[in-house]
Amino acid sequence: MNKSRLAAMFLGAAVAGCGVELEQPKSLTFEEFKAQALHEEDDVYVVSGDTAVQGEDALREMFNEYLKTEVGDIAQRQDELALYRLNGIDQKYDSTRKMNLTYCVSSASFGSRYSAAVSAMANAAAAWEAVAQVNFIHASQYDSNCNQYQTGVYFDVRMTTTTSYVARAFFPNGARSGRNVLISTSGFTMSGPVTLTGVVRHELGHVLGMRHEHTRPEARTCYEDGNWRALTSYDSASVMHYPQCNGSNTGDLRLTQLDINGVRAVYGAKQ
């Protein structure tokens, strides 16, 4: 599978997280910064995904800029993972909603795949619920009329035949019509280590406000934007990190200890 196809595998949404203050903010050294830049031919370095600079002197200037912004950013940071943050506001649920994330699973759209979809959602939700104060509730009475207009649930889960992604989700607090988890038919025929449940674990991370971990500079690729706040140190094995974006996870998508620390920093540990 090529990189662009892999990159399209999951959700296009972006989220970040919140946490606890880093006691010892740490910036990269120049050597670490240089090592993270993509070194192309003719002494060209690519930083931030798509910004090229030529020569080590230019790279050092970039590094000085990085230091200026990092100091300010880190002062705002809490323990990492990365939570969606827009205009300085964390995108997350309040104490009532986080325990009442109701959803339906469309029996009409999933058809023969309905049971598999119900199981994947339940198992994926359980992984987040086991570690943090969040609660997903399958309101199955709405499954026969489960769409983007169903107001009896917080979000709907439906099947799509798109080939652009395996699944996609949403970030907290959007309009009802946009609060959907869509699973492609391709999600039911995947081979390899990543399962449908693993993909949905990732998608529910977005639902809880988590951004792609690979948008962080340490990934050195797949940068999206800066609308996030670090919750933990960078985690190349995060459930929110695409393996194909310099990720280190070679198995199914699962919550790492840093993922657990991060979601707890936003919603609290499961009591």
Question: Which range of residues in 5-13, 30-38, 57-65, 76-84 is near Zn ion by CB under 5 A?
Answer: 5-13
159: nearest Cα among 198, 121, 209 = 121
Residues in contact with Zn ion, counted by CB under 5 A, come to a total of: 2
d(CA 216, CA 225): 9
Secondary structure of 162-208 as H, E, C letters: CCCCCEECCCCCCCHHHCEEEEEHHHHCCCCCCCHHHHHHHHHHHHC
Strand, coil or helix: 207: helix
Tally of CA atoms within 13 A in the half-sphere of 182 that contains its CB: 20
> Please, which residue, 132 or 166, has the CB nearer to Zn ion?
166
Binding window for Zn ion (CB under 5 A); candidates: 9-17, 20-28, 91-99, 149-157: 9-17
Q: How far apart are CA 51 and CA 67, in angstroms?
A: 17
What is the smallest separation between the CB atom of 232 and Zn ion, expressed in angstroms?
A: 17
Q: Is 171 in the site for Zn ion (CB under 5 A)?
A: no
Please state the closest distance from residue 69 (CB atom) to Zn ion, in A.
25
* Binding status of residue 222 toward Zn ion by CB under 5 A: no
Do the Cβ atoms of 77 and 83 come closer than 8 Å? Answer: no
Report, in Å, the least distance between residue 221 CB and Zn ion: 15
Output the smallest distance, CB 203 to Zn ion, in A: 7
Q: Kindly state the smallest distance separating residue 212's Cβ from Zn ion, in Å.
A: 5
In the bound state with Zn ion, the residue whose beta carbon lies nearer, of 105 and 222, is 222
Strands 136-138 and 101-105: parallel
Give counts: helices (H), strands (E), the chain: 7, 11
Q: Which of 6, 8, 11, 131 binds Zn ion (CB under 5 A)?
A: 11
Determine the interface stretch with Zn ion among 4-12, 130-138, 230-238, 245-253 (rule: CB under 5 A): 4-12
10 binds Zn ion (CB under 5 A): yes
Cα–Cα distance for residue pair 81/230, rounded to 1 Å = 5
To Zn ion, the closest distance from the beta carbon of 167 in angstroms equals 8
Q: What are phi and psi of 43, to 5 degrees?
A: 65, 30
Comparison of 11 and 120: residue with beta carbon closer to Zn ion: 11
Please report where in the chains the tokens 């709907």 appear, as a residue.
156
Nearer to Zn ion, 134 or 210 (CB): 210
Binding site for Zn ion (CB under 5 A): 10-11
